[in-house]
Amino acid sequence: MKFKILADSSCDVTEDLQKKTGVELIPLTMRLGEKIYKDDKSLDIREYIKAMKEYKSHPKTSCPSIQDFMDKFREGDNVFVVTISSRLSGTYNAAVQAKNIIREELSDKFIHVFDSKSAAIGETMVHLKIHEYIKKNLENAEIVEKVTRYIEEMKTFFLLEDLDNLTKAGRLNPIVAKAANILSIKPVMGAHDGSIRLVSKVRGYKRAFQRLIDVIGEEGTHLEDKVLGISHCNCLHRAQRLKEEIQKRYPFKDIIIAEMGGLSSTYANQGGLVIAF
């Protein structure tokens, strides 16, 4: 049987990871005024971050079309899809609508769409689980069951240097963001059932960085059985340091690092870090 793993471009992957899993990314688009950026391999992330900084208003994003998903769904006998949280984007709904249309055409085709209830490296970790279970030759129904459980148990946390884009996009209360900037507060945030939640408020970046590491031990369990992912917005040095500090304290099976693509960078902005496990 031919399997296909699809994800939207919020899924942050390295070239090596993409070769390993064969995941195909369906790009979202970002708009700065009249200029449209497609979130694929042609995007120069550093130039895009620079353009965002110079742009006076807030970036706008658009999810892939139903047709984009339909075109990909026709290519595999068994298709697994993972999307950014349905509470953050319309991508999940577009994928589900595409699935319903294709199933009317090709009733014997298997398609399952997972709402990652996360974003960035969280979505990456979900697609890795799908790949792991495919390689173990599990039945489709069992893959769905196990990956759904993984999503429910997965933890996602993030620390952002700049809250502007998250606030302008309506993902963070502007009063909270303004107070944070005035008081030099760096909030450690996380995902809860697909929405953004405040985990901790810390004054100063160094303390917030340490708090992010502490939260892993407070909220994580059975870490020796898990892989942790880190994605970063143009700050590899921070991601590497975070990895080193986490390795000193926790027994994860492995820790992977990936650079954020355009969609993740739009919200995380320069210096942002996201972890998931």
Q: What whole-number distance in Å separates Cα of residue 120 and Cα of residue 222? A: 23
pLDDT tens digits for the chain (277 residues)?
789 999 999 999 999 999 999 999 999 999 999 999 999 999 999 999 999 989 988 899 999 999 999 999 998 899 999 999 999 999 999 999 999 999 999 999 999 999 999 999 999 999 999 999 999 999 999 999 999 999 999 999 999 987 777 776 666 667 666 766 766 789 899 999 998 888 998 999 999 999 999 999 999 999 999 999 999 999 999 999 999 999 999 999 999 999 999 999 999 999 999 999 9
Q: List the domains of the chain with CATH numbers.
A: 3-151 (3.40.50.10170), 156-276 (3.30.1180.10)
pTM beyond 0.85, yes or no: yes
- Can you tell me which residue has the tokens 């974003």? 119
Alpha helix positions (H), the chain: 15-21, 45-54, 66-73, 91-105, 121-135, 140-153, 164-168, 174-182, 205-219, 236-249, 262-268
